[in-house]
A and B are shown apart, each in its own frame.
Chain A
Amino acid sequence: MEIKDIIKEENKVYSKPELLDNVHMHYCPGCSHGVVHKLIAEVVAEMGITDKTVGVSPVGCAVFAYNYIDVDWIEAAHGRAPAVATAVSRLWEENVVFTYQGDGDMAAIGTAETIHAANRGENIVMVFINNAIYGMTGGQMAPTTLVGQKTSTTPYGRRIDLNGHPLEITDILATLSGTCYVTRQSVHTPGAARKTKAALKKAFENAIAKRGTSVVEVVSTCNSGWKMSPVKANEWMVENMFDKYPLGDLKVE
């Protein structure tokens, strides 16, 4: 049997979501971003909100998210995505607005914008990729970098006396009255990815129903930044990250 005899519609077991573009992603092989992009593309298409969804991309590895998912996008300044999303959501109430942010964007330079948008209960979805490192700029310390974790700016490991504690931004957001749904997920196994997809769907439904701010943290890998193979990075994440950032819902209203 030749390959062309196998590639037939009736044999199809999987296909790329229609909203994902036919382009090569710039993400490193093994990176969690690609999976999360796919899940968002699926959720948006399945919910039938493609035409009214506006994404706000961050500064960080996901800066080019607008090249991959076929909805309208605004590329925000570093950390400012929640402020940008606030205006879009308020000025176009019928639209569905989500931010897609990394740990530096969400919990360092943009902490104020993150907390205040959530505190106002803006009807937006915040997707938070927490890989405990700055991938785009070459592996520097993130606010969520674990104690002892080596990065290019903590070459001997993060020290509490020098660098402070890892910031649990998601836990903080769960305490705010403006958030209606705060959850922490991951995408390292098919089962985990399915749960993340369900979480994203719930978050987008909240935005449509104007229930307040939904936060979906995805504990992620950065195998390049962590200097590990993709498989090893997944193992390291399970062994080290989940202890500090346990998976599950932090708040469901």
Chain B
Amino acid sequence: MKQEIIIAGFGGQGVLMMGKILAYSGLMDDKEVTWMPSYGPEQRGGTANVTVILSDDRISSPVLDAYDIVVALNQQSLDKFSQRVKPGGVLIYDTSGIHNLPERDDIKIIPIDAMEATFRIGHPKAYNMVVLGALLEAMDYKLPHENVLKGLQKSLPERHHHLIPLNSDAIEMGRNLLPK
């Protein structure tokens, strides 16, 4: 098993944290993991992306040019990374704000309305957890939910642990956004 994933969007959307929870969940499931962010003065508003690799074996490069799954949360990110989805791979994008789609028939393109789902939860900060739920559902490798919960626990500072049930619900809602 190896999943090579990039999550890209605006700084402030919780892209890095989402990647961290994914990586920690993988670690809790005994996988090798790397989490490689684009870093710099782009914490609010600029573009941010994170490459997460989950694998049974030792991981070579933390930096990639082709991905099994691309998660694009704004148009720039989609434009930048949609051509780098491996043939047979998956592109997940948020329908709010993304209107131009790539013309590729060799990959699976999954639209999700994560923004709308977040409004339904009534907690705007849960946005990235909704997206994470959709990503977890789209992955070939099925991460057991108990390990995702452990990943949440490890990633969030203790003062935010009371938010874990809310995050868990948001992930569940995200899972259900995928067409069955």
Note whether A and B contact each other (Cβ less than 8 A): no
Residues on B facing A (Cβ under 8 Å)? none
